[in-house]
Structure 1
């Protein structure tokens, strides 16, 4: 029964008086659905928070509660949610900064706009995790101070913070101008020298695999460098020397940076680690010369990365589309094509080029209609969901290319109800058709009823408003809880039945 009530909680047609009755019997799961309702009044939100205290956090983030509705001493989690949005009261921050629950202080440390005295309290918190969380999100001034913190975990958080001043980030990379760190997570817990077993059997151990400390916090210093190299605010002069570093992780951190000199990118393009080359391939900072060199890479991840590059030359992109599995997606370079380039791709003798441009959903009518009659099924499949196609064009696609384009045609926002009904009866069929049809706003009852026979489409179909009310009622007793819950959330469920379900509770 609880999954039925959970469905009712999400039903947009649930009358206000039944929302009130559902609030009165809500548990955690039901409260989650109720808190998401767009029509929830403030009075109802307050009542829900009183009924299920844990829902106050969700309601606070959704803007359903105000500061006047929250007592920070009773619901510190809700107060923290308000502070996290910059809508809390300063006195809450001072209260929570002294909270004995570490998780509360840690959450507070991540909140924006904290009073300076609260920042000072958190900067000296006895739990290093709280200080590290502050360092991760704090202002440039506080981050600069915490860069010299004695614990390496705090320094690593400072290195991740993009608000940290560049000079402080450079110092964290080189170590120059900073006192040596005196503690790390490893020597906090283990006698040194210590190397953490990657196959550590201890269930309560959260040290990273291979973490080590021989008195100099080796793995912690490595993690600080890695974080700083990933940080785009770290000066390029401080990071470029790591392009040939023995550590794969440090080299990998450079692959996505957009400020390296050309020679550094060229060096990374020949790195033995495919993942580094793949990340570099997507980097908008690499030039056409390097793109063409990398197009000869044999690793499929690298080639897919190049296909995602926003300035990959069209001839290279067409070659990649022809030889690599880049997926049915609109690529950034194609999305940015000029009208002349769109025309060039659409009239190319290469179906791979036409398929690329067919993924766009803003094609000029002339080009769209020309591609609708393309002889290549892959091109038509890519174009089929394009808005503006007529029913006759969509039916012609199915007649020419059959099962391969059914799902694409079903996904077309302009597909007519009669066409959708025909698609689910097409022989041979494609299972994806059912899943597209049940998501279509224009699907008629006959089509949705047919989709109930498909196991994966059935839970979605049960929530489609085109279903006859009597069928929705029958689905409430479906053995699959997901189907029954979707039926309870169906806005076409008769209000009288909604009331009966609540009475049964």
Structure 2
């Protein structure tokens, strides 16, 4: 990998004529950087696409190429990318529907708005992977048709397709109205049905762990049920019947659904698995009665999930603050708190509650400044990035709590150049603070020079446009490739040096 040329390719100040020169020598890494340039012209995109089909695929997905730019015979992957975005031609779809390369037919099967004759061809494909991919993305009518496919793998894909009609999804769960599947991926590999107990994976490398079949395609049917239970189009009445199933994976698939009756929530809220209870706790459709019951759950993970529920009552949330180890995260209920509730939260005697409020970035100036004067370090860490805080208040935080708040102060968007220099010179130094300073828009040359002493902050400082030009040039020869690449990508690199570095 040529780090210098990769950095130049990403440099926003690179002149267009040097972009042209890099295109002529671009390998995959350089081409990837060039393809991401917002100033790439159509002519340059065409030249770049001609060098590597992987790059052409990227440019197609980004809308930088059209159907007039691609020959499907020469660049089939790029043509398929255009079909995937809806910008390809119908005749391309017909061409790929019978392509001898299975992967191309499989990719085509996932494309939207295919002509009916193409979907018919794909539905009759001899490769189950192609038909299953079609089943996963196809229209309601075709999904209903493929639900009767004799292969269980196709039915599993139909169960995951959110366009599948609800009545069909219910049939996949109950089996009513559908002929039994005759094959699955496991028994495709056996002359006669053979048992492979779930703890023992089938020896075929391309089968999922635990795949087994005794003639009823058990593991595939189980996964089909799981997909259907997770599908929001599946009727709640059909899904609810699985709340007491012996399979934890099937019960878990229900926990995030918003349409189950209260008695099902109650059953899932008492599930022995904390992961299931946690998903119930975070589900905004669960009623307040069950949410309050979950607030006393023995698992801190469940209580933490409950705190993230946008419908958890505020009084319940504040009771969780000290025990659920939530951290300085902006929770939905805190973000939605009214001015009266904000005032009450700010005066809470519990610093964990004040910390949660401090994660907001739209607090009234008086509330913001009061929290910035808090005596608890975790409250200060949470409020430190809030816009509008004065330099004096931010310095006071550092004076009172030092290394505990230093990095968070450096993330404040209004941190002044002098304050960032103060952070960078702090003794003892804080590595994370160096990284925050190095990426800050207000960082000055002295602050960035200090950041160069930290290994992780060094590449960020090397890319900062405020770094002195002689230092940028010197870093082009750095032994660490990431640092040299960052220096080459620095927009303050002189054009003459860019020209010198370009082949």
Q: TM-score range by the shorter chain?
A: over 0.9
Shift of 1:200: 5.1
> Within 2, Cα distance between the matches of 1:273 and 1:349?
34
Secondary structure of the equivalent of 1:185? coil
Q: Report 1:122-141 matches (<5 A).
A: 122-141=122-141
Q: Is the 8 A contact 2:437 2:448 kept in 1?
A: yes
- 1:488 equivalenced with 2:491 (yes/no): no
2:144 equivalent in structure 1? 144
Secondary structure of the equivalent of 1:474? helix
Shift of 1:429: 2.7
- 1:101 equivalenced with 2:110 (yes/no): no
Shift of 1:201: 9.2
> Within 2, Cα distance between the matches of 1:117 and 1:441?
56
Shift of 1:327: 2.5
Aligned-residue CA RMSD (Å):
1.4
Q: Is the 8 A contact 1:26 1:52 kept in 2?
A: no
Shift of 1:199: 5.9
2:363 equivalent in structure 1? 363
- 1:432 equivalenced with 2:442 (yes/no): no
Q: Report 1:389-400 matches (<5 A).
A: 389-400=389-400
Shift of 1:332: 1.3
Q: Report 1:181-192 matches (<5 A).
A: 181-190=181-190, 191-192=192-193
2:386 equivalent in structure 1? 386
1:165 equivalent in structure 2? 165
1:217 equivalent in structure 2? 217
Shift of 1:197: 7.1
> Within 1, Cα distance between the matches of 2:366 and 2:324?
29
> Within 2, Cα distance between the matches of 1:323 and 1:473?
52
Secondary structure of the equivalent of 1:371? helix
Q: Report 1:105-504 matches (<5 A).
A: 105-190=105-190, 191-195=192-196, 198=199, 205-503=205-503
> Within 2, Cα distance between the matches of 1:14 and 1:162?
45
> Within 2, Cα distance between the matches of 1:148 and 1:129?
16
> Within 2, Cα distance between the matches of 1:34 and 1:196?
51
- 1:14 equivalenced with 2:14 (yes/no): yes
Shift of 1:307: 1.2
Superposed CA offset, 1:400-419 (max 9, x none): 22221111110000000010
Q: Which runs of 5+ in 1 are unaligned?
A: none
Shift of 1:198: 4.8
Q: Is the 8 A contact 2:201 2:208 kept in 1?
A: no
Shift of 1:79: 0.8
Shift of 1:313: 1.7
Q: Is the 8 A contact 1:410 1:433 kept in 2?
A: yes
Change (3 A) 1:102 1:282: same
> Within 2, Cα distance between the matches of 1:95 and 1:319?
63
Q: Is the 8 A contact 2:201 2:211 kept in 1?
A: no
Q: How many residues align?
A: 502
Q: Is the 8 A contact 1:380 1:397 kept in 2?
A: yes
Q: Is the 8 A contact 2:136 2:158 kept in 1?
A: yes
Q: Is the 8 A contact 1:35 1:58 kept in 2?
A: yes
> Within 2, Cα distance between the matches of 1:167 and 1:425?
67
Change (3 A) 1:50 1:329: same
> Within 2, Cα distance between the matches of 1:331 and 1:243?
29
> Within 2, Cα distance between the matches of 1:26 and 1:201?
44
Q: Which runs of 5+ in 2 are unaligned?
A: none
> Within 2, Cα distance between the matches of 1:109 and 1:326?
43
Shift of 1:139: 1.0
> Within 1, Cα distance between the matches of 2:51 and 2:248?
52
Shift of 1:196: 6.1
Q: Report 1:62-101 matches (<5 A).
A: 62-101=62-101
Superposed CA offset, 1:133-175 (max 9, x none): 1111111111111111111111011100111100000000000
TM-score by length of 2: 0.97
> Within 1, Cα distance between the matches of 2:389 and 2:297?
39
TM-score by length of 1: 0.97
> Within 2, Cα distance between the matches of 1:196 and 1:11?
56
> Within 1, Cα distance between the matches of 2:40 and 2:237?
54
Q: Is the 8 A contact 2:202 2:212 kept in 1?
A: no
Superposed CA offset, 1:304-352 (max 9, x none): 1111111112222222221122232111111111222111111212211
